[in-house]
Structure formats: structure tokens, C-alpha cells
Structure 1
Amino acid sequence: MFGLFKRSAHPTLDKALLNQLYRYALSLCHDESQAHDLVQYSCEKVLTAKVEPTQIKPYMMKVIRHAFIDQYRRKQFELVKDDSEILETIEKESDVLKSLEDIAIDEQHVDWILSRVTPHERELLYLWAVEGMSVQEIAEMTDTPKGTLLSRLNRLRKRITTEFNHLQDQEAQQ
């Protein structure tokens, strides 16, 4: 009789959770098939885990993040940065007073801007701006000090503002 009230052997993965995980994975890698693979990998980890995690969503997001970082590190061995790219990045960091909330960015420019930031910056931007997580929550999830995240967020704001203003100037000249 008590077998009827037994907890299920596997956690429930509803469509809303899978969609959130997919959006998170896509924000990291910007590749639909890789995002699907990351979500599938995290589902496999949860379903084959010997002990069910107490909070499924944060656990799965951490699995996705670590899997992406592993893939990214493997690709880094293949990629070589050019000195001109480094100089370009340094030039773009200037003092700007506007914040991200003050910038009206249309959909056409979002992909262009997101392609110009690193995967770690994309993750931070996604969790903060899209998911609405606080810096403290992001710090706990990514095992990164809060001050480091605040510094990265500030540099990211400045860089995006500068690049977006540069993009608007180019369009105005055309």
C-alpha cells in the first residue's frame, strides 16, 4: 500500500524548465545544435545521478555551464588571437556614463553586439538582464566573487555602450 506513495525514480523535467535551460545554453554558445546538446547532456546527468539534486534548475544550469566551459577550453587550443583583436578591445573600453538600461537596442543589433562579447560575458549578461538574477545569485551559481562580477558587469556596460554608439554613428553616416 505504501508503494503507491513512493517518490518517482526520476525528477520531472517540464517543458518550461527545458525551454529556460535551452535559452541559457543558447546564450552561452550561440549555436542551436550545441545548445540542444548541452541541454540533453544536463538532462542525462540529472536522470542518471545516483542522488537526486535538491534544486534541479540550478544544478542543471551548472552542468550546462561546466560542459560549455569544457568544450570552450578544447576549442581554445585551436584558436589563436591576433594582436589587432586585442588592440581593438583595449580601444573600445572608454569612460561612458550611460548604463545598459538607458540604451534602446533594437533586435537587429542584439546579435551583432552579443557576437562581440566573450562567452563568460554573454553568460553574465544573460543571467543578469534576461533571467533577472541578482549579482549575488550569479556569484553563488558561478562560484565567482561578487566584486569580480560587478567589475565585469561595469566593463561590459561600458564596452556595449561604446560599441552601440559607434554602430549608431555608422548608421547615421549612411
Structure 2
Amino acid sequence: RTIWGDHQRYKDTYFSAFPGKYFTGDGALRDEVGYYRITGRVDDVVIVSGHNLGTAPIEDAINEHPAVAESAIVGFPHDIKGNALYGFVILKETGEVRDRTNLTKEINQYISDHIGPIAKLDKIQFVSGLPKTRSGKIMRRILRKIAEGDFSNFGDTSTLLNPEIVEEIMKERV
């Protein structure tokens, strides 16, 4: 394998972080039994007020809330902070009606307790699903554009498993 016309770039990108080992760019945790859990891209970082914040740890904190099934975090431009955090959150289907204002406060408190106040979300949108590829990867570039209020040109969406969710998320944008 290589990058067409630039083999050195291929080597520098994938074999320099850990000499002799291939670096995929994915983070993982290994538990006491030896199982691995993929935690997300290590290069998915948002700079908020000069702090480099990884989206995976923030999503992990949110997902620990008992009402949350899944979440995705993206950055969006902010006049003062440079970037702010926008969370797309799927709630567990319990049949229980939750007050969204209190739930937003609770989720931000979870983030503050696990990571720190700097990682609190500026906006939280409760959604019924996330745009994913057929292989299950969240299409964050679409979420990023929606968070920015740009609903044009989402690029290639041919691998999108659930295209209807994009329209739903756009309509409910906070």
C-alpha cells in the first residue's frame, strides 16, 4: 500500500507515530479481560478557547447519562471561543417523558464532572438518529455543516444508511 506518487508521505503518516507499527488514527481501550473497545478517532479534536478537546471523551461522558443511548459532538464557529461544542443526542426509548431543559443541564453536569466545565456543550439537540454509513460510522461532516447552519452541499452521501435523518436534524436545529 502507498499514496500514489508519494510513498514517503504514506510512511510519514502511518508509520512515524510508533516506529515499526501501523497507526490507524483510531483510539481504543483494552479492558481487564483483554477485549478492545474502539473509542473514536484520535484526530477528532475541537479547539475551544485555546483548549484541545477530543470529541470521544465528551461523548463517553454524555453516554454515561442513564437517559442517553448515543451521542455525537462537533465543533461550530463561535465569536468569542473560536469554536463551541454542539451535541446531537439520542435518548433511550423508555416511554418516560423528560424535560429537555433539565436533561440539557444534567448532561452538561455529567460532562463537567467527568472532563471539566470547559467541555460543556453550547448547544444540545435531541435527535431520533444520527447520519451513519452502512458500516455504522457517523458522518460527522454532515453534522458539522448542520451545526454551522450550512444546509448546502453535504458532499457524497451515497453511503448514507438513513438519508431521511439529515432532513429531520436540519428541521430541528437549535
Structure with more contact order per residue of length (Cα contacts < 8 Å, sep ≥ 6): 1
Normalising by the residue count of structure 1, what TM-score does the alignment of the two structures yield?
A: 0.27
The structure whose Rg is larger is 1
Normalising by the residue count of structure 2, what TM-score does the alignment of the two structures yield?
A: 0.27
Larger strand percent:
2
Larger helix percent:
1
